[in-house]
Amino acid sequence: MSNIDELLSEFPVIKEMQDYQPIFWKNPDYQTVENLPVGIEHVFDAEARFQRFAPYFEVAFPETLPMHGILESPLIELKSMKEVLNAQFEHQIEGDLYLKADNYLPISGSIKSRGGIYEVLKFAEKVAIEHGGLVYGDNYAVLNEEKYHKLFSGYGIAVGSTGNLGLSIGIVASKLGFNTTVHMSADAAQWKKDMLRSKGVNVVEYNDNFTHAITEGRKQAEQEPTTYFIDDEGSYDLFLGYAVAALRLQTQLKAQKIKVDEKHPLFVYLPAGVGGSPSGVAFGLKMVLGKNVHPVFAEPTHIPSVVLGMMTGLNDKISVYDAGIDGITKADGLAVGRPSRIAGKIMKTLLYGIQTFEDQDMMKNVVQLHDSERIDLEPSAASGFTILDSVLGQLKEDGYPLTNASHIVWATGGSMVPEEDMESYLADGRNI
Ligand SMILES: *Cc1c(COP(=O)(O)O)cnc(C)c1O
């Protein structure tokens, strides 16, 4: 922990953050050159692993059959939502607005179907090769058979989560046969815990924040030599699972004739909790699409952990609680007070900036998207919309050519939210 008074004198904007004012942090190191610990070859490696597992998904999760066992989400143009937003914005959205609809990803209905599931697959493959005679050229549908189920039941998988990571990992790990434990913070929605328990997952509940839940989970897993702990605060496997999205998006951009070049810049708005999923996606996009794609993160004013870490350069060495910020938000997927050990470091030269937002704007956007496009998101997932207006102002100031730009709001979750929970989000948003 560092001395907050010293930080305040060096970064006066922290005072505004303590007062829960929305802020924009422009990354001073954006598009400068730095050696990264991972490269595009690691993204291709991750994509190849997903491909090897596709026949497994077809048999174990038949809902993935139409997609041939590949977990991917659509890129949807939002014409009506764009009109709704422009009617209220100070800075108009020129160009096109899209939703990357990870709310429709199979299995967890969230972006966690990328990173979380990927790390489970990587571990399962390793165990199956070392102890079950699997070879890379096998049809991985065999992993759904009793022999492998029995092998995997000798191992544990554990994870700490605010909800969706636990959901994605729990569902796939328990289906493979692993002894699965999910350590849930107090923010986790009840239905996520119920669903996991119904699938035989051991759910440990904490009446405390995410940092506490993950720390306890890690400690317990360390005492069990056959248990593999998936560490949301610093896992490269999670990170690379998210990064695969970039290869898939590149294909979708081409299919939908969306240009990305000097005159057609692409801006991508990603919600950040621990920072792992948005950083993984942003890293992948920079590797695949280069200098004309510009990632921006959105964080709640009450829990701006990634911006605090990146701005001060302290990254995971500072939490919002150290700065006297309360960490209370309706964005349960973003309720993480201390950022990832790796996200801020890798994002140092790849992230355009971070804008913080108020919960009420996010709830309002949930309603607007429902009414204008009939798409339902969980609150965190709508936060990309909240920052558009102010970021557009920044981009104009910076002289980006916006006339033919594309804007992608990354919708990170929501299709599995039970109807009555969704109704209550909408009622909340309508009351504002
Ligand atoms: C996990 C999650 C995020 C943020 O991902 P991090 O890796 O924690 O930064 C955003 N939205 C939803 C719905 C999530 O579940």
Span 370-414, pLDDT tens digits: 999 999 999 999 999 999 999 999 999 999 999 999 999 999 999
Which residue out of 102, 182, 185, 412 has the highest number of ligand 1 atoms within 8 Å of its CB and is therefore the one to mutate? Answer: 412
345, 424: one domain: yes
What's the average model confidence in pLDDT over 168-184?
97
Residues facing 101 on adjacent strands: 411
Based on the fold, state whether residues 251 and 125 are members of the same structural domain: no
Q: Does some domain include residue 54?
A: no
SS3 state of residue 374: coil
Q: Examine the domain organization and report whether 231 and 177 are in the same domain.
A: yes
Range(s) of the domain holding residue 331: 4-38+65-107+237-431
pLDDT tens digits, 314-337: 999 999 999 999 999 999 999 999
- Give the confidence band of 1 by pLDDT, cuts at 50, 70, 90: very low
**Residues 407 and 379 reside in one and the same domain:** yes
Question: pLDDT value at position 3?
Answer: 84
Let me know: does 136 contact 302? Beta carbons within 8 Å.
no
Report pLDDT digits (tens) over 89-130.
Answer: 999 999 999 999 999 999 999 999 999 999 999 999 999 999
Model pLDDT for residues 341-381, shown as the tens digit of each residue = 999 999 999 999 999 999 999 999 999 999 999 999 999 99
For residue 231, the domain's CATH number is 3.40.50.1100
Widest Cα–Cα separation across the chain:
62
From 207, 235, 263, give the residue that closes a domain. 235
Instruction: Give distance in angstroms: CA of 221 to centre of ligand 1.
Output: 23
Element (H, E) at 122: helix 112-132
Ligand 1 neighbourhood includes 305 CB (under 6 angstroms): no
Sequence-distant (6+) residues with CB within 8 A of 425 are: 363, 366, 378, 379, 417
Q: Which residue has the least CA distance to atom 14 on ligand 1? A: 333
Q: Does residue 143 have a pLDDT over 70?
A: yes
pTM, whole model, 2 decimals?
Answer: 0.97
Is residue 205 located within the same domain as residue 313?
A: no
Which of 100, 107, 111, when mutated, tests ligand 1's pocket best, judged by the most ligand atoms within 8 Å of its CB?
111
Packing angle between helix 40-60 and helix 236-255, nearest 10 degrees? 90
Q: Answer positive or negative: Cα dihedral of 319, 321, 322, 323.
A: positive
Residue 238 Cα to ligand 1 midpoint, Å, equals 12
Whether residue 44 is contained in a domain is answered as no
The answer to whether 112 touches 245, Cβ cutoff 8 Å, is no
271 Cα: distance to centroid of ligand 1 (angstroms): 7
* Ligand 1 neighbour 159 (Cβ under 6 A): no
How many domains is the chain built from? 2
Q: Is the pLDDT reported for residue 284 higher than 80? A: yes
Structural Rg of the chain based on CA atoms: 21
Q: Is residue 45 part of a domain?
A: no
User: What is the pLDDT, as a whole number, of residue 124?
Assistant: 98
Whether 277 is in the pocket of ligand 1, judged by its Cβ within 6 Å, is: yes
Of the chain, the percentage scoring pLDDT greater than 70 comes to 100
- Residue 46 counted as domain residue: no
Q: Who's near 15: CB < 8 A, 6+ residues apart?
A: 8
Same domain, 225 and 275: no
Q: Where are the alpha helices (DSSP H) in 177-297?
A: 190-198, 210-222, 236-255, 276-289
* pLDDT, position 2: 56
Report the separation in Å between the CA atom of 367 and the middle of ligand 1, taken as the mean of its atom positions. Answer: 20
Nearest to 194 by CA among 218, 170, 177: 170
> Does residue 380 have its Cβ closer than 6 Å to ligand 1?
yes
Listed residues 206, 235, 264: the one ending a domain: 235
Q: Are 288 and 230 members of one domain?
A: no
- Is the domain of 425 the same as that of 276? yes
Our answer on whether the CB atom of 384 is closer than 6 Å to any ligand 1 atom is no
Span from the CA of 125 to the centroid of ligand 1 (angstroms): 25
Distance CA 236, CA 242 (A): 10
Residues 286 and 426 both lie in one domain: yes
pLDDT digits (tens, 9 = 90+) for 243-266: 999 999 999 999 999 999 999 999
Domain end (from 204, 235, 266): 235
Residue 29 scores a pLDDT above 50: yes
Q: Are residues 262 and 333 in the same domain?
A: yes
- Domain membership flag for residue 402: yes
Q: What is the mean pLDDT of the chain?
A: 97
Residue 55 lies inside a defined structural domain of this protein: no
**From ligand 1's centre to the CA of 348, what distance in Å?**
19
For 349-381, letters b (16+ CB in 10 Å) and e give bbbbbbbbbbbebbbbbbbbbbebbebbbbbbb
Do residues 160 and 186 lie in contact, with contact meaning Cβ atoms separated by under 8 Å? Answer: no
Mutate to test the pocket of ligand 1, among 103, 240, 277, 341 (most ligand atoms within 8 A of CB): 277
Instruction: Give the model confidence (pLDDT) of 215-247 as tens digits.
Output: 999 999 999 999 999 999 999 999 999 999 999
Give a yes or no: residue 43 inside a domain: no
What pLDDT is attached to residue 34? 86
Query: Is there a domain that residue 300 lies in?
Result: yes
- Please tell me whether residues 17 and 145 are part of one structural domain: no
> Pick from 236, 292, 204, 241: which is nearest to 102 by CA?
241
What pLDDT, on a 0 to 100 scale, did the predictor assign at position 187?
A: 84
Specify whether 253 is located in the same domain as 283.
yes
